[in-house]
Structure 1
Amino acid sequence: MTTQTYSNQDIRAPFSVTDLNHQVKNLLEISFANVWVQGEISNFSRPSSGHWYFTLKDEKAQIRCAMFRNKNLKVKSLPGEGDKLVISGRVSLYTGRGDYQLIVDTLQPAGRGNLHQAFEQLKKKLLKEGLFDEENKRQLPSFPKHIGIVTSPTGAAIRDIISVFGRRCPMIELTLFPAQVQGEDAAKTLVQAIRSANEVPDLDALIVGRGGGSLEDLWPFNEESVARAIFASTIPIVSAVGHETDFTIADFVADSRAPTPSAAAEQLSPDQQELAQTIDNLEQRLEDALERYLLSKSRIIISLTERLKPPETMLSEKLRHVQDLSRRLMSSLQQRLELHKNTVDSQLQTLRIYSPLHQIEAKQARVTHLHTRMANLTGRHLAGKNEQFAITLAKLNAMSPLHTLARGYSAVVDKENRIIKSLSQTEPGQSIKVFIEDGSIGAKVTELDPSGRIL
C-alpha cells in the first residue's frame, strides 16, 4: 500500500454532500433549461399523487423522468410501456438521493413533432393567403334537400351521419362520394371526391370528414391540396374530422366546423319533430288570427246593419240637407253681394278723393296761396335788404378815401402808386403824385421838413 502525503496548501475547504448536490442541480438546470429528448418509455408508474414517473431509454443509456400532475393533465392519452416518445423539459438533480433526472413539460409520440411543425407552417401560410377569412365563408342552407358526404364508405362516420339524418329529417337526399380518409393516397382521393361533388348541380351542402384517430390518421385533412380543394368548392362545406378536441387545417378552411360527423349531420338536418311542432304552432296561430279577423268583420257588418236606415228616411234626410244647403247658399250669395257692393262704394269714394281734377284744383289753390306768400315774403325781404344796404353804404362812404378827399385832404403816392405815409418813404427830387377830390397833381420833392406837421 502506497501512502501519499499532502501539504497544507493542497487541502481546500470540502463541500458538504448537500451543498455539492445543490450546486450540481443549479448547473444542470441552467445549462439544460429546455431540452428535447427522444427515447422509449419503461417502468411507468402513476401514484395517488397524480404525478408520473418513468424511465426514458435507448439502446445504450437511460434517464429517470418525472412529469408532475399540473403538466400531465394536458396529455390526451396515457403513455404505455415501450412507447417511443419525444419529451421536452429541463435536466435537474434530486438532491435527496443525488439522482440525475429529467423534469418533463410535454411529451408526444415520436414523429409527431415534425407533423406538428408542418401543421403550423401550413396554417400560417394559408392564413396569410386569406383562406381562413370569415368573408370567404358561405352560409349553410336552412332547409337543404340534397346533401353530399365525402368520407369512407366503410367507416363509422357514414353510419353515424345516415343515422342522424334518418332520425331528424329522412326526406333529405344523401349522396356518398367515397374517399380514403387515412393513408398515403387519402389526400388525393379526398380532393377528387370534393371536385366530383361540385359537378353535381343540385347539391345544397357537403360534409367532409371521418371519425376519430391519431394525428397520423387524421393527417390527410391537414394536406394543402385538400385545404385548397375545400376553398375552391362552390358548395358550402362542413368539416367534421375526428373528435371535439381534434383540429385540422380542413376545419379552418371549411365554411363551418362540426366537432364530430354526427354533429355535422345535426347542423344540416332540421329536426322533423321540431318542424312539425313549428308548423302546428303556425297553423294554430293562423287559425286564431283568421277567427279574430272574421269576428272583427262580423262586428263591423252588424254595426253597419244597425246604422242602415230605410230608403224613404234617407231620401227625406238628404232632401232636407239639400234644402238647408240651398238656404245657406242663398244667404251666402247675398252676403257676398252686399260685401262686394260695399267694396265698390268704398272704391268709388276713394276714386273721387284721388281724382286728377280734384287734385289739380287743390294744387292750383295751393300754388295761388304760395304765390301770395312768396310775394309778401319777397317784399319784406327786399325792404329789409334795402335798409341794410343804405346803412352799409353810409358806413362805407364814411370810411371811403374819396370822402376824405372831399373834405379837403389829399393822398400822396410814389411812382409805383404806393401811398406815402412817412418822410422815410421819400427823398428830395423824387417824383410823386398828389390825389385830390377832382383829380391828381404831379410834383417833385424839394424839401423834407419833419416839423411841418398838421396840428
Structure 2
Amino acid sequence: MNASTHAVSVSELTHHIKAILEGTFPSIWVAGEISDLSRPRSGHLYFTLKDETSHIRGVIWRGTASRLDVDLADGQSVFCFGDVEVYAARGTYQLVIRQVQLQGLGALQKRFLDLQAKLDAEGIFAAQRKRMLPRCPRRIGVITSQSGAAIRDFLQAASSRFRGVEIVVIPAVVQGPTAAASIVAAIKQAHRYAPALDALILTRGGGSLEDLWCFNEEPVVRAVAASRIPTVSAVGHEIDVTLCDMAADVRALTPTDAATRVLPDAKMFDRSVTELSRRLDRSMRQSIDSRRLRLNQIASRTGFRKPHEIVHLRSRYLDELDARARRAMFTKLRLDAAKLATQAASLSALSPLSVLTRGYSVTLDAVGNAIESTDVVNVGDTIRTRVHRGEIESVVKSLS
C-alpha cells in the first residue's frame, strides 16, 4: 500500500472530525464548574468548564456575553447551553455557549470558603499577627519550582533592584497532588538554614483555581502562618487570591512585586547616602566655621595678645588694694583708740576709786560687801576701811 496515495492532510482529518462531531451533537445543556476564566479586551469570554474528572473549553462570544445577566467568576457551578464545535486551528473541541444559568458554588470554591471561615475564626488571618519585613535583609529564601518562570522573574527583578543580598532557592513542587507536602517540607527546610534567613518568599506564576489549589491546602496555610521567618506570598496574579496570601505577613501580586517588597531600592539608598554625605559635609563646615570665628574672637582678646599686661595691671591693682586696706585699718585703729580713751575717762569719772582720792573712804564687812548701816555688823566684828591709798582693818567695839 502506497502511503502517499491514501494519506489525508491534518486539515482534512480535522474537518472530517468537525463535521461528524458537530453533526452528531445538537445544542445541549452542560453542567460544570467555571475555572480559569479569561476576559480579553475583545469582549469574548474564555474559560474551562469542568467536573471532578474531566474538563472542556468554553467560549462565549462578545455579542452573547454582553447580553448575559450573570456575572461569571471562577468557582461558580453553572448550567451552560450551547453547541459543541471543533476549533480546527488547534484540533480541539469546545463548547460555544449561548445561555448560562447559575447552580451555586463549585466544590473547590466551597472548600475554599469553608476552610477560610475555619482559619479566620482561629485568628490565622488576623492583622495583629502580621510582621514587618526587615528593611535590609541579608539572606532571602525563595520557595518555588526551579524550572518555573516565577524564579526567573524574581531573580531578574532582584538583580535590578539590589545586589547585596544572598538568595537561597528552595525547590518545591507548586502544582499537583504532591505540591502541598513538598511546600510544607520546603518551609521546614528554610528554618534549618544557618545563618538564619531574614525573609521567606513563596511564589509561582498564575493559573486556574485547580493549578493554585495546593496554596489553599490547610497544612500549607498553617505552615505559612507558623513560620518564624517573615513570609511573603507571591502566588499567581492580582485576581488570584489564595489562603496562603491571607496567612502570610505580606502579599505580593507577582514574583516581581515580591522582589520589590522584600529588597531595598539600591537607587534610593544611593540617593540617601549622597544626601546624608552632603548634610554631613555642610554640618561639618558650619561647625568648623563657627569654631574658627569663636577662636578668632578669643585670640583677639587682650589676655592672648598681651598676657604680661594683664599681670601688670592686676599687680598694680593689688598694690592699690593693699594700700587702701592699710589706710583703712590704721584709720580704724585710731578711731577705736580715741573711742576707748573717751569711754575709759567716763568710766574713771564714775569709779568709786576716784571719790577716794578726795578724802572719802569705803567700809567693807568680812566678805567684802560695803557696809551701809550698823544693822549689818555686831560688836567684835572685824571690818575693813578702804581709803585712797591702802586699807585699814578695825574691830567694832560699840554701835551707836
Which residue does 1:136 correspond to in 2? 129
Distance (Å, rounded) in 2 between the aligned partners of 1:115 and 1:232: 24
**What fraction of aligned residue pairs are identical, expressed as a percent?**
40
Which residue does 1:313 correspond to in 2? 309
**Would the alpha carbon gap of residues 329 and 224 (structure 1) be closer, same or farther in structure 2, given more than 3 Å must change?**
farther
**Would the alpha carbon gap of residues 252 and 265 (structure 1) be closer, same or farther in structure 2, given more than 3 Å must change?**
same
**Would the alpha carbon gap of residues 71 and 268 (structure 1) be closer, same or farther in structure 2, given more than 3 Å must change?**
farther
Aligned-residue offset at 1:117: 1.0
Give the aligned CA root-mean-square deviation in angstroms.
4.0
**Would the alpha carbon gap of residues 76 and 318 (structure 1) be closer, same or farther in structure 2, given more than 3 Å must change?**
farther
Aligned-residue offset at 1:70: 8.2
Q: 217, 221, 225: which one pairs with 1:231?
A: 225
Any conservation in 1 of the 2:224–2:231 contact (CA below 8 Å)?
A: yes
Any conservation in 2 of the 1:211–1:243 contact (CA below 8 Å)?
A: yes
Q: 213, 216, 219: which one pairs with 1:222?
A: 216
Following superposition of structure 1 onto structure 2, how do residues 117-266 of structure 1 map, counting pairs within 5 Å? Answer: 117-201=110-194, 202-266=196-260
TM-score (norm: length of structure 2): 0.57
Which amino acid letter does the alignment assign opposite residue 190 of structure 1? Answer: I
Would you say how many aligned residue pairs link Structure 1 and Structure 2?
A: 263
The structure whose residues are more often helix, as a share, is 1
Which residue does 1:350 correspond to in 2? none
Following superposition of structure 1 onto structure 2, how do residues 8-47 of structure 1 map, counting pairs within 5 Å? Answer: 38=31
Distance (Å, rounded) in 2 between the aligned partners of 1:206 and 1:128: 25
Q: 107, 110, 120: which one pairs with 1:114?
A: 107
Q: Deviations over 1:186-222 (max 9, x none)?
A: 0000000000001113211000011000011011000
State the secondary structure of the residue aligned to 2:137.
coil
Between stretches 298-307 and 310-319, larger displacement belongs to 310-319
Aligned-residue offset at 1:106: 5.7
Which amino acid letter does the alignment assign opposite residue 269 of structure 1? Answer: L
**Would the alpha carbon gap of residues 187 and 314 (structure 1) be closer, same or farther in structure 2, given more than 3 Å must change?**
same
Q: Deviations over 1:278-298 (max 9, x none)?
A: 212211221111111111111
Whether 1:293 and 2:284 are equivalent positions in the alignment is no
Aligned-residue offset at 1:170: 1.7
Following superposition of structure 1 onto structure 2, how do residues 436-455 of structure 1 map, counting pairs within 5 Å? Answer: none
Any conservation in 1 of the 2:233–2:248 contact (CA below 8 Å)?
A: yes
Q: Deviations over 1:398-428 (max 9, x none)?
A: xxxxxxxxxxxxxxxxxxxxxxxxxxxxxxx
Distance (Å, rounded) in 2 between the aligned partners of 1:329 and 1:88: 122
Structure 1 residues not aligned, in runs of 5+:
1-35, 57-64, 78-83, 90-101, 339-455
Q: Deviations over 1:270-318 (max 9, x none)?
A: 1222212221221122111111111111111111111134122211333
Any conservation in 2 of the 1:71–1:106 contact (CA below 8 Å)?
A: no
Which amino acid letter does the alignment assign opposite residue 318 of structure 1? Answer: R
Distance (Å, rounded) in 2 between the aligned partners of 1:175 and 1:207: 10
Distance (Å, rounded) in 1 between the aligned partners of 2:319 and 2:326: 11
**Would the alpha carbon gap of residues 251 and 329 (structure 1) be closer, same or farther in structure 2, given more than 3 Å must change?**
farther
State the secondary structure of the residue aligned to 2:188.
helix
Which residue does 1:276 correspond to in 2? 270
Which residue does 1:303 correspond to in 2? 297
Structure 2 residues not aligned, in runs of 5+:
1-28, 50-62, 81-97, 336-400
State the secondary structure of the residue aligned to 1:87.
strand
Whether 1:87 and 2:78 are equivalent positions in the alignment is yes
Which amino acid letter does the alignment assign opposite residue 319 of structure 1? Answer: S
Which residue does 2:87 correspond to in 1? none
Any conservation in 2 of the 1:150–1:179 contact (CA below 8 Å)?
A: yes
Distance (Å, rounded) in 2 between the aligned partners of 1:332 and 1:232: 93
Any conservation in 1 of the 2:76–2:109 contact (CA below 8 Å)?
A: no
Any conservation in 1 of the 2:68–2:99 contact (CA below 8 Å)?
A: no
